[in-house]
Structure 1
Amino acid sequence: MILRRIAVFIALLSGILASQLPEFAQQYRQRLGGAIDEIRRMIGDFDADVARMGLSRDQGIERLKVNADQLIRQRGQHLESDIARADKLERQLQSYAEAGPFRRLGLFASDFEPEIARRAFAQFEPAVPVTSEGLISAAGGFFAGWFLCRLVLAPLQRRKRKAVPNAARG
């Protein structure tokens, strides 16, 4: 009887936790959009600076990368990586926008930016799952937790059942 209560408790806890996945993914997407906005703002400032000098973005970056000053060379390398990162994050955000509710969860699980996810988790606020995505995630988490508990506790229940007849014989 106690094992069944433990299984129900763990199943409920799993359901509650799983119901938060869609909300966390949504808060992650918001932070992702904010990160893209900030990177694009920095790149836009650089583009404006090089345009005032009559240069293209690539020409401006190349000037930075061949500069004698190591700090300026590193800025050129960082700017190049920031541009590549912005492109990657924008593709990721576009994929989320084009995907349906459950596909977004799959995309999030398979392709997320760890630093943005860490920051989203640090600021995460749980929400009541009122979307079909949240409710189905809760049900899936409940049944997964129930199944895992039954799987783990099954050997204990078998051992308990075998012990009772042996004790009755004694």
Structure 2
Amino acid sequence: MGRFLALLLGIAGALLGSQAPGFTLQYMQNLQGRIDELAPIVEEFDANIAQYGYDRERALIECQSAEGLLDALCTAYVSAVERYEMLTAHMAELEAASDLVRPLVLAKTQIEDITLSVYEQFQPAVPATIDGLAYAGGGFAVLWGGASFLFGLLGAMTGGRRYA
């Protein structure tokens, strides 16, 4: 019975693991859309401050001490610029990783609101890539191996009853 359950868990792991590359690609597409949405705002900010001889860093520092209406304007621009810089750095990190490693990088560095947005729209699909196949095999190995180990351990603890 334990071997059968381990096999079922392995198959579930393969199905789940195989989705990682597709989810990662959809995440990156969503991320790029958000970067594209912020780019004109940041470009406008950069153009406006350049008219007064400022660079982005100096303007952001000055915005920290702004008051009144200037503070209200600065707050929106600072928020947009900081998010843009964070998103572009995140995209660069994902793009620098190989196709095979990218889902692991995403698992460590994902941005919650983007992940939730992708998850709401994500449709599982049959993987047709080498990295999809690799993640399917990895998912199978992790869940099957873990379950086999656990059932073997349970068998040893119960006096040799076979669970695996």
Which deviations, in whole Å up to 9, do the C-alpha atoms of 1:16-40 show, x marking residues without a partner? 1011111111110000100100111
TM-aligned CA deviation for residue 106 of structure 1: 2.8
Residue 6 of structure 1 pairs with residue 5 of structure 2: yes
Percent of paired sites with the same residue: 26
RMSD: 2.8
* Aligned residue in 1 for 2:110: 112
TM-aligned CA deviation for residue 45 of structure 1: 4.3
TM-score, structure 1 as length reference: 0.77
3-state SS of paired residue (2:126): coil
Query: Are residues 57 and 38 of structure 1, via their aligned partners in 2, closer, same or farther at CA, if it must alter by over 3 Å?
Result: farther
Query: Are residues 162 and 149 of structure 1, via their aligned partners in 2, closer, same or farther at CA, if it must alter by over 3 Å?
Result: closer
Count of aligned positions: 158
Distance in 2 (alpha carbons) for counterparts of 1:88 and 1:101: 22
* Aligned residue in 2 for 1:66: 66
* Aligned residue in 2 for 1:129: 127
* Aligned residue in 1 for 2:39: 40
Which deviations, in whole Å up to 9, do the C-alpha atoms of 1:79-137 show, x marking residues without a partner? 11321221221122123223211232232122222211111111111121111111010
Query: Are residues 93 and 9 of structure 1, via their aligned partners in 2, closer, same or farther at CA, if it must alter by over 3 Å?
Result: same
The 8 Å contact of residues 11 and 143 in structure 1, kept in 2 or not, is answered as yes
The 8 Å contact of residues 65 and 77 in structure 1, kept in 2 or not, is answered as no
TM-aligned CA deviation for residue 139 of structure 1: 0.4
Distance in 2 (alpha carbons) for counterparts of 1:137 and 1:9: 17
3-state SS of paired residue (1:127): coil
3-state SS of paired residue (2:2): helix
Who wins on radius of gyration, i.e. which is larger? 1
The 8 Å contact of residues 21 and 134 in structure 1, kept in 2 or not, is answered as yes
* Aligned residue in 1 for 2:26: 27
Q: How does 1:93-112 map to 2 (within 5 A)?
A: 93-112=91-110
TM-score, structure 2 as length reference: 0.80
- Please point out which of 72, 80, 83 is paired with 2:81: 83
Structure with the higher fraction of residues in helix conformation: 1
Query: Are residues 15 and 63 of structure 1, via their aligned partners in 2, closer, same or farther at CA, if it must alter by over 3 Å?
Result: closer
The 8 Å contact of residues 27 and 118 in structure 2, kept in 1 or not, is answered as yes
Distance in 2 (alpha carbons) for counterparts of 1:89 and 1:5: 44
Q: Give unpaired runs (5+ residues) of structure 2.
A: none
TM-aligned CA deviation for residue 146 of structure 1: 0.7
Distance in 2 (alpha carbons) for counterparts of 1:63 and 1:7: 58
Distance in 2 (alpha carbons) for counterparts of 1:153 and 1:85: 47
